[in-house]
Structure 1
Amino acid sequence: MLSRVAQPFVRVVERYLPDPYIFVLLLTLVAFVAAVLVESKTPMDVVQMWGNGFWGLLTFSMQMLLVLLTGFMLASTPLIKGVLVRIARLAKSPGQAIILVTLVSLMASWINWGFGLVIGALFARQLAKVIKVDYRLLVASAYSGFIVWHGGLAGSVPLTIATPGHFTEDRIGIIGTGDTIFAFFNLAIVVALFIAVPLVNRLMMPEEKDRVYVDESKLIDEPEMDTEITRPAEHLENSRTLAWLVGFAGLAYMVHYFVNSGTLNLNVVNFTFLFLAIILHQTPRRLLNCLQEAIKGGAGIVIQFPFYAGIMAIMIESGLAQTISSGFVAIASETSLPFWSFISAGLLNIFVPSGGGQWAVQAPVMLPAAEALGADVARVAMAVAWGDAWTNLLQPFWALPMLAIAGLKAKDIMGFCLVQLFITGIIISLGLVFF
């Protein structure tokens, strides 16, 4: 039944969903028109907001790009790839392949979103080599695991409010991950999604006549060739000693950092992944070769993130984001505020697909509301985080790296993701209100 339900979504999305770059251009125009009509701004005012904010997320963009690059480099090491090959052999049927890729992606995304995207894509490719399965659903299943990232170890909202000096510290202080990532309600949502998401993906498997298989020639990895050393400098490029000296120095720093009560944040995650990748790639040359591949997956982020920064500037400076958030807050109570925060965050994420950026938009509205209503601030913050993660199943921006690795387009997988959007939305809403 769920397979029959999914097929109309798949067909509509394949026909009408544009390239993500076109998507961001259309969103720019929608935000522009909304600011003029809803907030009574002049067109020139909105153009100035957009242009002034176009480069406003460069620091955050670099952090996000590094999450992707370091996650890719770590996931591409021989050790991690070998683990994926062994796990792929566990799948004996197409259904098992769908469930397995979803679980692997869920676990990896909970650890780190960039790691999850890359692991999911690489594992999907590996499974497609050994099991004949609908490749669109396989990659969509890998991407659906991304839903848990903001409730995991690399969630930007919980890590932001756990970091000293964050921009809302004067209002809420430092909220540790024990009240957010490792709180009971958040762990309950994560567990529920670990059960539901693989099951839904399995039930969406198309009938044999509707399945689309991948051309196996496109899955062949080019072997890494050892080049002959002809220059003295190449001895350094292929030196394990140099890589390991620097790599283990980085890990020593991380041990010292955590022993002295250091907490997780984006910079710490990136640092850890980078130096693990340096060690496991063994030589600088292998790391640099992998980096060249990783950068290809980040091309969409580089070109599109400034446009989203411009959209965010329009949403914030025009008052449109505050109007949307305030509209939901106005009908909220102490109990329902997390739910309405979740819904408003999901809507805003379509225009501002950035967890940290979205928290900057919604915190000034949600935090005073939480205080006035007596709601749990940590739960409200996580509701914003989950809303941001939730509509990534609709917003194709973060699928770009995975699609680049898998060799598909957004229209190939988003129909399946829409079904997950409805089901996971219900699960997360119930968790935020009742768990």
Structure 2
Amino acid sequence: MFKRFTNGCVRVVNRWLPDPFLFAIILTIIVFIGVMVGTQQGPLEVVWAWGGRGGTGDGFWGLLSFSMQMALVLVLGSAMASAQACKRALAAIATLAKDKKSAIMVTTFVSTICCWLNWGFGLIAGALLARAVARRVKDVDYPLLIASAYSGFVIWHAGLSGSIPLQIGAQGGTEILGVNYYAGTMDTIFHPVNLGMVIVILLLMPLVNYAMHPDAAHTIVVDPALLVDEAEKEYKIDTPADRIEHSRILWVITLVLGFFYIVYYFVQKGFNLDLNIVNMIFLFLGILLHGDLRKYVDAIADAASGAAGILLQFPFYAGIMGLMVAQNPETDVSLAGIIANFFTNISDEITFPVLTFLSAGLINFFVPSGGGQWAVQAPIVMPAATEMGIEYGRSAMAIAWGDQWTNMIQPFWALPALGIAGLSARNIMGYLVIVTIFTGVVACGGFLIWGAFF
């Protein structure tokens, strides 16, 4: 019964899921119409909000700064994962996979841990691990293996590179409608309930993924010839310029400077994470692991192609975000407000974060960005949390969990892993429907416990 349902999801997704960029275009049209109907604004007012109202910093170009941060998370994490030291470590981990069951479970478990540490690193490391596992276990279903690698991404926003907890935990908090809101990482990322939900998913999701493995007649295996890694690039050092590029002295000086700042940052700020310091850590870890500045430059160049989806699609999602928050000047009504207020008005202090989580999951289809999600929902959720006496950390993490939850069936963030795997979103999304249902149950239960006992 379970596998029939999974196979049905796979068939539906393969038939109906468009390319992620077309998905963004279709969502733009849907939201455009929804704004006109829901807020009673005319098409000219709506298109003005979509484009950014003539350069006011919102709308189509409203996520440029955050887009750069997210692109760096992906590129820096990818470059680090491509280091030979990381590849050797992943190859060693792949030896733990002896059969189909262990192949799926090891890939899921390790990719989840990596995504919690850094989502860009986890996306690439998980895909590379899946390829290494597929080389060893010939009869494992390859699309499910890649889906298992991507499924670890479902906890990224509860981890060390989560944009929402890092924004609200930044020095001085974050300003929303003229009010500063602050919740430290001990109240968000390292809160016992948040960690508990992560651990439940870490331990149970490998079993869920293996339960979806198709029978032999429906298993799709990969041609081993497609999994051969390119040989490591060899460098000739013939000229003074070559010797400068491969200079160990410059490499050491760069590392000393970077890690000295990182240590001094934590001495001055305490364990206070934000996106910039997280990116700096992964930047200098990447330089360290590559062992050579020229090699790292080339690794960044290779990884940058993986950010193409961000560069192309983020302006459209910023435009959608501008549509979602566009208010009718006479009634102050926005489409995001309509959706979020629906859940807010039917909740209490226990159920409010659960319903915030559900509404965030819905809005994430239209704004698949942690920063965009925060921009859309925080102006509604955080003032309501103040009024209801709900701690800011729990409210912020409800948005964060909703954002990461439906990423499983929003293909945008799967692009880097799919590129490495040589698959399309259609090949894996059917399996990820099941992951979405499972993690949704865990998150709802976790937020009810958080409200009732903490």
TM-score by length of 1: 0.97
Structure 1: distance between partners of 2:43 and 2:178 = 36
Q: Using the TM superposition, name which of 340-349 and 2-11 deviates more.
A: 2-11
Paired position in structure 2 for 1:312? 321
Structure 1 segments of 4 or more deviating over 4 A? none
- The count of aligned residue pairs is 435
Q: Deviations over 1:31-54 (max 9, x none)?
A: 111011111111111111111111
1:429 partner letter: C
Deviation at 1:362, TM superposition (A): 1.0
How far apart in 2 are the matches of 1:428 and 1:188? 10
Kept in 2, the 8 Å contact 1:297–1:405? The answer is: no
Q: CA deviation at 1:173?
A: 4.1
The answer to whether the aligner puts 1:280 opposite 2:289 as a matched pair is: yes
SS at match of 2:377: helix
Instruction: Tell me which amino acid in the other structure corresponds to 2:167.
Output: T
Shift of 1:227: 3.2
- Say whether the 8 Å CA contact 1:244–1:282 is kept in structure 2: no
**1:33 aligns to what?**
33
- 1:370 match: 385
- Residue number among 141, 152, 162 corresponding to 1:145 in the alignment: 152
1:355-366 residue pairs with structure 2 within 5 A? 355-366=370-381
Deviation at 1:169, TM superposition (A): 9.8
Aligned CA-pair RMSD: 1.4
Match of 2:211 in 1: 203
* Structure 1 residue 431 corresponds to structure 2 residue 446: yes
CA contact (8 A) 2:154 2:407 kept: yes
Contact 1:104 1:120 in 2 (8 A): yes
In structure 1, distance between residues paired with 2:294 and 2:389? 56
Please give the secondary structure, in 1, of the residue aligned with 2:365.
helix
Identity of aligned residues (%): 48
Shift of 1:73: 1.0
Where does residue 261 of structure 2 map in the other structure? Answer: 253
Q: 1:19, 1:170 → 2: CA distance?
A: 39
Q: 2:107 aligns with which of 101, 104, 108?
A: 101
Paired residues for 1:79-98 under 5 Å: 79-98=85-104
Alpha-carbon offset, residue 187 of structure 1: 1.2
What does residue range 317-336 of structure 1 map to in structure 2 within 5 Å? 317-318=326-327, 319-336=334-351
How big is the shift at 1:4?
Answer: 2.4
- For residues 177 and 203 of structure 2, the distance between their equivalents in structure 1, rounded to whole angstroms, comes to 36
Task: Please report how far the alpha carbon of residue 147 of structure 1 lies from its aligned counterpart in structure 2 after TM superposition.
Answer: 0.6
The equivalent of 1:229 in structure 2 is 237
Equivalent residue letter for 1:39? T
Do residues 182 (structure 1) and 197 (structure 2) align? no
Is contact 1:105-1:116 (8 Å) kept?
Answer: yes
Shift of 1:172: 5.3
- Tell me, in whole angstroms, the C-alpha distance in 2 between the residues paired with 1:344 and 1:168: 19
Kept after mapping to 1: 8 A contact 2:97/2:106: yes
How far residue 170 of structure 1 moved from its aligned partner, in angstroms, is 6.2
Stretch deviating more after TM superposition (250-259 or 58-67): 250-259
1:153-207 Cα offsets, whole Å, 9 max, x none, are 1111111111024224964543111111111111111111112211110100010
Q: Secondary structure at the match of 2:18?
A: coil
- What secondary structure, in the 3-state scheme, does the structure 1 residue paired with 2:427 have? helix
Are the equivalent residues in 2 in contact too, given 1:154–1:269 (CA < 8 A)?
yes
CA distance in 1, matches of 2:232, 2:114: 25
Amino acid at match of 1:347: L
DSSP-derived class of the 1:118 partner:
helix
Q: Residue 62 of structure 2 aligns with which residue?
A: 56
Q: Is the 8 A contact 2:177 2:379 kept in 1?
A: no
Equivalent residue, structure 2, for 1:238: 246
SS at match of 1:223: coil
List runs of 5+ in structure 1 lacking aligned partners.
none
Corresponding residue of 2:83:
77
Q: Distance in 2 between the 1:385 and 1:218 partners? A: 37
In structure 2, C-alpha distance between the alignment counterparts of 1:210 and 1:276, rounded to whole Å:
42
Q: Give how far 1:148 is off.
A: 0.7
- Aligned equivalent of 1:390: 405
Structure 2 regions of 5+ residues with no counterpart? 53-58, 328-333
Distance 2:244 2:424 in 1: 39
Distance (Å, rounded) in 1 between the aligned partners of 2:236 and 2:377: 56
Q: Deviations over 1:383-429 (max 9, x none)?
A: 11000000001111111111112111111110000111111101100
Corresponding residue number in structure 1 for 2:46? 46
- Please give the alpha-carbon distance, in whole angstroms, between the structure 1 residues aligned to 2:204 and 2:179: 37
Contact 1:248 1:275 in 2 (8 A): no
Deviation at 1:237, TM superposition (A): 1.7
Distance in 2 between residues matched to 1:115 and 1:434, nearest whole Å: 31
2:428 counterpart (407, 410, 413): 413
Greater alpha carbon shift after TM alignment, 196-205 vs 254-263 = 254-263
Is 1:159–2:166 an aligned residue pair?
yes
Aligned 8 A contact 1:248 1:279 in 2 = no
